[in-house]
Amino acid sequence: MQSDKGFFGRFGGSYIPEILHASQQALLNAWNQASVDADFLAEVDRELQQYSGRPTPLTPCPNLSRELGGAQVFLKREDLNHSGAHKMNNVIGQGLLVKRMGKKRIIAETGAGQHGVASALIAARLGLECTIYMGARDIERQYPNVFWMKQLGATVVPVTSGGQTLRDALDEALRDWSADPSGSHYLIGTACGCAPYPEMVAEFQSVIGREVRAQSLQQFGALPDSIYACVGGGSNAAGIMLPFIDDQSVELVGVEAGGRGPAPGDHSIRLSDNLGSPGIAQGFATMFLQDDQGQLMETHSIAAGLDYVGVSPILAHLNDTGRVRMTAANDDEVMHAFQTLLRCEGIIPALESSHAVAGALRDIPAMSPDKKVVINISGRGDKDIFNVASAVKDTEFGPFLQRYLERELQA
């Protein structure tokens, strides 16, 4: 989706400190050239195929469809990307752009750690130096991802300011970029930030929607009737939705993190239910969760990847125009959806993606059986083993960890 000088309706823009202006302009120029360069786009496609394993399948779900008794369900399997999430599509694109620009170092922020791992992977493959900022609280929640980032040779910097989560990590990444604007590239993980990041990340992710279009026509001879995606920063949603933006027959549904409930600090609902309000921070204008003084609020989700205070300006705009219908699923609904998919189809979705499943499960029983619904499984759930074990109150998991620790301490 092309912006109007970096704006999507009333959202987007480049609200960055002056120190970053020259680098932002250089990135804008590099992207404008690369995005119409057939050789560059072919190189991205080749790497998506040979390194990440694309195309990812569109998986029919006959058991789930039968159980729900409504529309037919198909899953877009972004969980089958290398690294286990759609994040790979973006880091391959930006990584190759960094090489093209001749920069040697990337900076990334990460929340759950999926984008951090993807950045560390592409840095290793392309020979780039990599520094990753991660909130100290997120490190506590997601240490296994930190472990892999370090093994891959990345420097992981814990961020101890503020709420010590994704938003603080993003601020810290901007500070690092300010210290070395011409030598480093800020590899943002979602379709947020200053121009051209929202547009560029959404374009790299649009491979998801382009594949869904071709696979739908091939597998059931029509476009889907509805597409569901979870919305944290918004990159997997933008990626699967934008190729269908002009197909008015295709309903587009975004599902935010309803968390524990609508109280401030208990959720990450920026667009549905009138909980967010317009603001300008972290380099761009969008809908933020903020107080009456314009201070950004703390957020919560059972899925760390949705735990973000802002949202892509592209999604904020599509919500404004009504092209995308936004809704939210709370933590309990999400765990129920997670278990339903697991048992019906033998697929373990990420808790983030389980929000999209939860949103779809609510609507599908009321839809006619000839309708086709596509749910974006943006990532796999293996990473959520600790959260899920705790949520399902697995009695063996704790003692297992205890025995593991005892063995390690003795060794």
Partner 1 sequence: MSRLQTFIEQQRKDKPILLMTHVVYGYPTIDESLALMRDLLSEGVELLEVQFPFTDPSADGPSILHACHQALQQRPTLARCLADIAAIGREFPASRILLMSYLNPLYRYGLARLPRDAANAGIAGFIVPDLPLELADDFRHSCVAAQIEPIWMLTPETPPARMQQICAAASGMLYCVSRRGVTGADKATSPQNRNQHEDQPLEDYLAAIRTTTALPLAVGFGIRTGTQVQALHGLADIAVVGSGLLDAFNRGGRTAALEQVRSVRG
The catalytic site residues sit at 61, 86
280: burial class by Cβ within 10 Å (0-12, 13-18, 19+)? middle
- Beta carbon of residue 276, minimum distance to partner 1 (angstroms, whole number): 13
237: burial class by Cβ within 10 Å (0-12, 13-18, 19+)? buried
| Structure token pair of residue 81 | 């990307």
| Binding letters toward partner 1, positions 73-112, x by CB under 8 A | -------------------------------xx-x-----
* Count of residues touching partner 1 (by CB under 8 A): 44
Of 47-55, 87-95, 173-181, 219-227, the window that binds partner 1 (rule: CB under 8 A) is 173-181
- Beta carbon of residue 319, minimum distance to partner 1 (angstroms, whole number): 20
What's the CA gap between 84 and 380, in Å, rounded?
A: 5
Residues 29, 33, 155, 402: which binds partner 1 (CB under 8 A)?
A: 155
Helix 38-50 × helix 87-101 angle, to 10°? 140
Contact call for residue 14 and partner 1 (CB under 8 A): yes
Those residues with Cβ within 8 angstroms of residue 376's Cβ, 6 or more apart along the chain or in another chain: 75, 76, 78, 86, 208, 227, 228, 229, 230, 236, 237, 240, 353, 356
Residues 68, 174, 318, 348: which binds partner 1 (CB under 8 A)?
A: 174
**Residue 151 or 155: which CB sits closer to partner 1?**
155
**Residue 2 or 182: which CB sits closer to partner 1?**
182
Residues 66, 175, 343, 403: which binds partner 1 (CB under 8 A)?
A: 175
What's the CA gap between 393 and 38, in Å, rounded?
A: 52
Q: 278 has which bridge partners?
A: 287
| Binding letters toward partner 1, positions 125-144, x by CB under 8 A | ----x-x-------------
Is-contact 117 141, C-beta < 8 A? no
What is the identity of the amino acid at 311?
V
**Residue 22 or 42: which CB sits closer to partner 1?**
22
Contact call for residue 189 and partner 1 (CB under 8 A): no
| Three-state secondary-structure class, residue 385 | helix
Residues 54, 86, 167, 317: which binds partner 1 (CB under 8 A)?
A: 167
Contact call for residue 222 and partner 1 (CB under 8 A): no
Alpha helices for 182-269 (secondary structure H):
197-205, 207-220, 235-241
Residues 67, 100, 162, 387: which binds partner 1 (CB under 8 A)?
A: 162
| Alpha carbon 164 to its chain's center | 19
| Structure token pair of residue 322 | 């009504």
Residues 3, 8, 11, 13: which binds partner 1 (CB under 8 A)?
A: 13
Nearest to 364 by CA among 400, 340, 339: 340
Contact call for residue 385 and partner 1 (CB under 8 A): no
Of 12-20, 42-50, 225-233, 248-256, the window that binds partner 1 (rule: CB under 8 A) is 12-20
Give the C-alpha distances (Å, rounded to integers) separating 66 from 57, 114, 344.
21, 33, 10
Contact call for residue 282 and partner 1 (CB under 8 A): yes
- Beta carbon of residue 250, minimum distance to partner 1 (angstroms, whole number): 34
Of 14-22, 81-89, 111-119, 366-374, the window that binds partner 1 (rule: CB under 8 A) is 14-22
| Binding letters toward partner 1, positions 283-322, x by CB under 8 A | x----x-x-xxxxx--------------------------
Alpha helices for 232-379 (secondary structure H):
235-241, 313-321, 331-345, 351-363
Phi, psi of 174 (to 5 degrees): -65, -40
Question: For strand 7-8 and strand 11-12, is the pairing parallel, antiparallel, or unpaired?
Answer: antiparallel
CA-angle at 329, arms to 214 and 267, nearest 5°: 120
Q: Which of residues 18-77 bind partner 1 (CB under 8 A)?
A: 18-23
144 HSE (CA, 13 A, CB side): 7
Is-contact 282 193, C-beta < 8 A? yes
Contact call for residue 17 and partner 1 (CB under 8 A): yes
Contact call for residue 233 and partner 1 (CB under 8 A): no
Contact call for residue 199 and partner 1 (CB under 8 A): no
Q: 179 has which bridge partners?
A: none
Contact call for residue 176 and partner 1 (CB under 8 A): yes
Residues of this chain that interact with partner 1 (CB under 8 A) are: 13-23, 104-105, 107, 129, 131, 155, 161-162, 167-168, 171, 174-176, 178-184, 279-283, 288, 290, 292-296
